[in-house]
Amino acid sequence: MSDPNQRIVITGVGLTSPNGNSLNEFRANLLAGKSGVSKFETRYIGQVLAGVCHFDPLKYQKKKDVRRGTRAGSIATYCANEAVQNSGLNWAEVHKDRVGVYIGITEHGNVETENEIFEISKFGYDTSVWSHHHNPRTVANNPAGEVTLSLQITGPHLCLGAACAAGNAGFIHGVQMLRLGEVDLAICGGVSESIHTFGIFASFKSQGALASNEIPEKASRPFDLDRNGIVVAEGGGLVTLERLPSALARGAKIYGEIVGYAMNSDATDFVLPDPTRQAQCIRLALSRAGISADQIDIVSSHATATVQGDIEESLALREVFGDCPNVAINNTKSFIGHAMGAAGALELLGNVPAFDDHFAHATINLDRPDPRCELPQLVANQPRKMERVDYILNNSFGMLGINSVVIVKRFSGV
């Protein structure tokens, strides 16, 4: 790209996942094969398996803020503050009206609505008991808005509802706003508080898509013949994005450059994916990055461990990467479950350190590969040492047929 101001780089990372509360911890546990799935009690259903985060919300919030706000807001606030600190920015000197906050979410408001209905049920459904904090808690922009309150950001903020493609959508929107000159710094990615709504567990259970296993760490098993559904997870992954000249001028650490992206729609079904449209989305991202499929070193797959979903993505991956024997295909959900709106963000960020350590982390729990998901390039159970890693491609797909792909390149200089 000839105009350096159109080149957008990642300069800070903040995250919380079920198996790590920083990029270093997350990456170490991915390489060590350490799962973050555990038993979890949820209202009306009882014990389920989930990916639960254990970050400290009081690191950047007061007790009053946590009490008044939402779990998604606390996750977003933690991740945003961590990303800003990690970026090395002198925050006091940053023009806050030139900062944009763009956070992908799967849904928002279910948790608070369920909680309030449960509370008024104790009082004969007397609505006078209903919390006056309910409206600001449930508006769709809440997680991004809580970030602006924490960091005193006066630029634009919004949440992007993109189902389980939302993490990638947050990155994509940040890139676009920087390229348009709307902002000078974007804090973007995705968050999820999904495990705190019993409805998501009940719906997946009635659909026959909720994972079960006597050993929690073995429950999330994408591409495996014995997979039996989704492990729901919470989490968040946010980054600071800047134009390349800005990052270079302040000597920032550059984690990678976002060089390609794409989003499209299946327009076929509420939940069943279309591999043809997924493959088209991947090819569009490759075209925008100006590279061919065989230049990709790591493909971070979306696979959620549902029977049909894994099969359909495998078809798309074979269509695009079937003649690319050197690509490494892995899956992060096998470690942490499906973090919904945060999934794409966490899955990309967990792979980004491969630019430096040259390892493709494994897909764990892949004991009996499903022949219908035949992918010879799958990294199974042990990390794969790579000769070099220059390009990482991140798939993230969602209900109602929304597909997203982001490609990050190792930064090797101007």
Q: pLDDT digit string (tens) for 322-356?
A: 999 999 999 999 999 999 999 999 999 999 999 99
Mean pLDDT of 374-383: 97
CATH fourth-level superfamily of 260-409: Thiolase/Chalcone synthase (3.40.47.10)
Examine the pLDDT at 2 and tell me if it is beyond 90: no
Residue 102 forms beta bridges with which residues? 158, 188
Nearest to 136 by CA among 69, 214, 202: 69
Average pLDDT of the residues in 402-412 = 97
Residue 328: CB partners within 8 Å, gap ≥ 6? 297, 298, 299, 360, 377, 379, 384, 386
Q: Nearest to residue 408, comparing CAs of 27, 8, 12?
A: 8
Do the beta carbons of residue 314 and residue 375 sit within 8 Å? yes
> What size, in residues, is the chain?
414
pTM summary value: 0.97
Domain extents for the chain?
7-249, 260-409
Cα separation values, 251 from 9, 89, 248, Å: 13, 10, 5
List the catalytic residues: 164, 302, 338
pLDDT of residue 413: 80
Task: State the pLDDT confidence band at 367, using cuts at 50, 70 and 90.
Answer: very high
The residues with which 359 forms a beta bridge, in sequence order, are 385
pLDDT for residue 269:
96
By DSSP bridging, strand 328-330 and strand 298-300 are: parallel
The 3-class SS string of the chain reads CCCHHHCEEEEEEEEEECCECCHHHHHHHHHHCCCCEEEEEECCCEEEEEECCCCCHHHCCCHHHHHHCCHHHHHHHHHHHHHHHHHCCCHHHCCHHHEEEEEEECCCCHHHHHHHHHHHHCCCCCHHHCCCCHHHHHCCCHHHHHHHHHHCCCCCEEEEECHHHHHHHHHHHHHHHHHCCCCCEEEEEEEECHHHCHHHHHHHHHCCCECCCCCHHHCCCCCECCCCCECEECEEEEEEEEEHHHHHHCCCCCCEEEEEEEEEECCCCCCCCCHHHHHHHHHHHHHHHCCCHHHCCEEECCCCCCHHHHHHHHHHHHHHHCCCCCCEEECCHHHHCECHHHHHHHHHHHHCCHHHHCEECCECCCCCECHHHCCCCECECCCEECCCCCEEEEEEEEHHHEEEEEEEECCCCC
Question: Is the domain defined by 7-249 classed in CATH 3.40.47.10?
Answer: yes
Judge if 7-249 and 260-409 fold alike in CATH terms.
yes
Confidence at 1, pLDDT banded by 50, 70, 90? low
In whole numbers, what is the pLDDT of the chain averaged over residues?
A: 97
Please tell me the distance from the alpha carbon of residue 219 to that of residue 49, in angstroms, as a whole number.
Answer: 8
> Mind listing the pLDDT tens digit for each residue in 278-296?
999 999 999 999 999 999 9
Q: Which tens digits make up the pLDDT trace of 156-202? A: 999 999 999 999 999 999 999 999 999 999 999 999 999 999 999 99
Phi, psi values for residue 92, rounded to 5°: -65, -25
Cβ–Cβ < 8 Å for 170, 104: yes
**pLDDT tens digits for range 40-98:** 999 999 999 999 999 999 999 999 999 999 999 999 999 999 999 999 999 999 999 99
Residues 229, 220: Cα–Cα separation, whole Å: 7
**Alpha carbon of residue 34 to chain centroid:** 18
Task: From residue 264, give the alpha-carbon distance in Å to each of 29, 205, 258, 405.
Answer: 33, 28, 18, 9
